[in-house]
Structure 1
Amino acid sequence: MTLAAAGDRDLLFVAGGTGLAPIRALLEEAGARRMDRYVDLFVGARTAQELYGLDDMLRLSQRHHWLTVRAAVSHENIPGQQGTLPQVLHEFGPWDRHEAFLCGPPDMVTTAVRTLLHQGTPRAHIHHDPLDTPVLTEPLTPPRPGQEINQL
């Protein structure tokens, strides 16, 4: 995912859990470019305690008038936005004039893509990492003496 695909449209960033890390890199790139467009960032998690990096994003929004940050939680009743990120996106949409960048758990990304498509966002304006990348099944550390490694 790169901002080069965004053209001159306003940006929508959607980050679930630690998916905020790549989205943050895009935000920093947007800030360095001093773009003349608005950015809406939605950060979500199951509980408020799991909202990774939210404080940093809120401080960033205080420094940049073009950035709006909204957080949502799905499994806890707290003040603010409640529900999954796709539900909150639906509530604040439509996003058909934005370039959307999504990162997070595959189920969230898939459901958010469907929400955006349903609201009229062109498929070509929705960006996310591949969802079919296989996960590692072998340990990352070398085996200790006496341990066997499964052969692939």
Structure 2
Amino acid sequence: MTAPVVGLTFGLAGWLAAGLVDWAETPVTDDRPRDPVLTFRRDLRLVLLKAVVGGVALGIAFGVPDALTGGADPVAAVAVGVLVAVAIALGVGLHQASGRYLVAVAVLSVRRRVPVRLLGFLDDAHRLGVLRRSGAVYQFRHAALQDHLARTRPDRSRKDH
């Protein structure tokens, strides 16, 4: 009796989770996002949705069979759900643009190569006319500025006089 219940519960929870994620990934309109900040926020929300849906689905999948067989431990089901949600957020997040962006900004800001609030900085640069927006990305308006910023900085620790 336990194996069919476990199989049915896992199958139903997986089907529900996949359906919700598929529904969330379907665009409402054919319009392309015109704002990089909005695009980032939408992508990050999708990562969080996938994590929560996956965590809830596996929490249910582990909790329901335990409840039906009398060995119900709601704390264990919640713990499994939370651990799965964190694992999905990390795993999926690193494969989505928003996750890669957050990792890159974290590393580069620790090295003092970019501002911590990079999107705000880029938005200000766009407003001031240094950058332009093309769809959901920022581009330099002037190739000379891009070339100047791309050059490596001289090693300031060397003392060449």
TM-score range, shorter chain: under 0.3
More strand, by proportion: 1
TM-score, normalised via structure 1 length = 0.22
Greater radius of gyration (CA): 2
TM-score, normalised via structure 2 length = 0.21
